[in-house]
Amino acid sequence: MTSPFVKHLHSLRRHGLRRSRGLTRRALLQGAAASALAIPAFGLLRPEARAASGLAERIIFFYFPDGVPGPSQDGEASLWHASGSESSFTLGEALKGLEPWRDRCLFFNGLSLGATDTGSHPGGAKKLLTATDYGNNESIDQHLSRTVGADAWWRHLSLGVMAKADNASGDKLISYVGPGSPLSPEDNPSTAFGLLFGDGGSSTDDGGEPDATALRRASVLDANLEDLEELRAQLDGAERAKLDLHVEAVREVEQRVLGTSGGGGGTGSCEVPALSDSFTSEELYDPARFPDLLKTQIDLMVLSMACGLTRVGTLQCSHHTSELLMSRFPGTEMYDPSYDMRSHQASHYGSKHDWDKREFKAFVQQRQYWVDQFAYLLERLDAMPEGDGTMLDNSLVVLCTEVCDGNTHLHDNMPFVVAGGGGGAINNGRLLQYGYERHGKLFVSLARAMGEDLWSFGDSASGDLYGVLR
Partner 1 sequence: MKRPFCLPPALLLPLALALACERGRKDDDPTTEAEVCEAPSAPPRQLRLLTRREYNRTVEDLFGGGSGASCDDDADCDITTESCSGGACLADPCTLHTFVFDPNGASVGRVHVAGTFNGWPGTEAAGGWPMEYIASLDLWVTKRALDEGQHQYKFVVDESTWMHDTANGVTVDDGYGGYNSVLNLECGEAEQVAADFPSETRPKGFGYDNHAASAIVSSTHVEMYLRAAEELSERALRDLPSVLPCDPDELGEEACLSALIEEFGRRAWRRPLTAAQAERLLTRALAEDSFDDGVAVVIQALLTSPYFLYRSELGQGVGAGAYVLTDHELAAALSYTLWGTTPDEALLDAADAGELHTADEREAAARRLLADPRARAHLQDFAVMWLEIQSNETASKASWVEDDFPALREDMEAEVRAFFEHVVFDGAGTVDSLLTSRTTYVDADLAELYGLTGVTGQSLEEVTLPEGQRGGVLGLGAVLAATSHSDSSSPILRGLFVRERLLCQPLGTPPADVPAIPEIASDATTRERFEQHTADPVCASCHQYIDPVGFGFEAYDAVGRYREQEGGKPVDASGDMVDVELMGAGTHAPFFTLGELGEILAESDAAELCFSRNVWRFTMGFEEESGDLCAIEALTAQGDDVQDLLIELVTSPEFVQREQR
| Contact set for partner 1, span 322-341 (CB under 8 A) | 323, 325, 328, 337, 340
* Candidate list 30, 216, 330, 388; residue touching partner 1; CB under 8 A: 216
* Candidate list 58, 311, 320, 430; residue touching partner 1; CB under 8 A: 320
> What is the Cα–Cα distance from 148 to 243, expressed in whole angstroms?
22
- Distance linking the first and last C-alpha atoms of the chain: 55
What is the footprint of partner 1 within residues 263-292 (CB under 8 A)?
282, 285-287
Nearest distance from C-beta of residue 13 to partner 1, angstroms: 6
238 binds partner 1 (CB under 8 A): yes
116 binds partner 1 (CB under 8 A): yes
Phi then psi for residue 210, to 5 deg, are -60, 140
* Candidate list 195, 268, 332, 459; residue touching partner 1; CB under 8 A: 195
Contacts of 451 (CB under 8 A, 6+ apart): 50, 53, 55, 56, 148
* Candidate list 249, 268, 269, 467; residue touching partner 1; CB under 8 A: 249
* Candidate list 102, 104, 311, 342; residue touching partner 1; CB under 8 A: 342
169 binds partner 1 (CB under 8 A): yes
Piece of the chain touching partner 1 by CB under 8 A; list 52-60, 90-98, 100-108, 178-186? 178-186
Piece of the chain touching partner 1 by CB under 8 A; list 101-109, 120-128, 382-390, 442-450? 120-128
Closer residue to partner 1, CB minimum distance, 326 or 468: 326
Piece of the chain touching partner 1 by CB under 8 A; list 52-60, 76-84, 233-241, 453-461? 233-241
Q: Compute how many residues bind partner 1; rule: CB under 8 A.
A: 97
Nearest distance from C-beta of residue 388 to partner 1, angstroms: 33
Q: Which amino acid is at 67?
A: G
Closer residue to partner 1, CB minimum distance, 103 or 282: 282
* Candidate list 60, 183, 298, 317; residue touching partner 1; CB under 8 A: 183
Q: Are 442 and 468 in contact (CB under 8 A)?
A: yes
Piece of the chain touching partner 1 by CB under 8 A; list 29-37, 246-254, 377-385, 456-464? 246-254
242 binds partner 1 (CB under 8 A): yes
Residue 65 sits at the vertex; the CA angle it makes with 452 and 380, to the nearest 5 degrees, is: 60
Per-residue x/- mask for partner 1, residues 415 to 454, rule CB under 8 A?
Answer: ----------------------------------------
What is the footprint of partner 1 within residues 293-312 (CB under 8 A)?
none
What is the footprint of partner 1 within residues 398-417 (CB under 8 A)?
403, 407-411
* Candidate list 24, 30, 73, 462; residue touching partner 1; CB under 8 A: 73
Nearest distance from C-beta of residue 250 to partner 1, angstroms: 5
Q: Which amino acid is at 42?
A: F
170 binds partner 1 (CB under 8 A): yes
- Give the residue from 27, 50, 12 showing the smallest Cα distance to 421: 50
Nearest distance from C-beta of residue 47 to partner 1, angstroms: 19
* Candidate list 35, 136, 181, 332; residue touching partner 1; CB under 8 A: 181
HEC string for the chain? CCCHHHHHHHHHHHCCCCCCCCCCHHHHHHCCCCCCCCHHHHCCCCCCCHHHHCCCCEEEEEECCCCECCCCCCCCCCCCCCEECCCCEECCHHHHHHHHHHHHEEEEEEEECCCCCCCHHHHHHHHHCCCCHHHCCCCHHHHHHHCCCCCCCECCEEEEECCCCCCCCCCCCCCEEECCEECCCECCHHHHHHHHHCCCCCCECCCCCECHHHHHHHHHHHHHHHHHHHHHCCCCHHHHHHHHHHHHHHHHHHHHHHCCCCCCCCCCCCCCCCCCCCCCCCHHHCHHHHHHHHHHHHHHHHHHHHCCCECEEEEEECCCCCCCEHHHCCCCCCCCCCCCCEHHHHHCCCCCCCCCCHHHHHHHHHHHHHHHHHHHHHHHHHCCEECCEEHHHHEEEEEECCCCECCCCCCCCCCCEEECCHHHCECCCEEEEEEEEEHHHHHHHHHHHCCCCCCECCCCCECCCCCCEC
What is the footprint of partner 1 within residues 36-55 (CB under 8 A)?
none
Nearest distance from C-beta of residue 334 to partner 1, angstroms: 15
221 binds partner 1 (CB under 8 A): yes
* Candidate list 83, 90, 118, 332; residue touching partner 1; CB under 8 A: 118
Per-residue x/- mask for partner 1, residues 3 to 32, rule CB under 8 A?
Answer: x--x--xx--x-------------------
234 binds partner 1 (CB under 8 A): yes
CA dihedral (152, 313, 442, 389) in degrees, to 10, reads -70
Closer residue to partner 1, CB minimum distance, 21 or 216: 216
Nearest distance from C-beta of residue 448 to partner 1, angstroms: 25
Piece of the chain touching partner 1 by CB under 8 A; list 30-38, 51-59, 111-119, 365-373? 111-119
> What is the Cα–Cα distance from 46 to 173, expressed in whole angstroms?
33
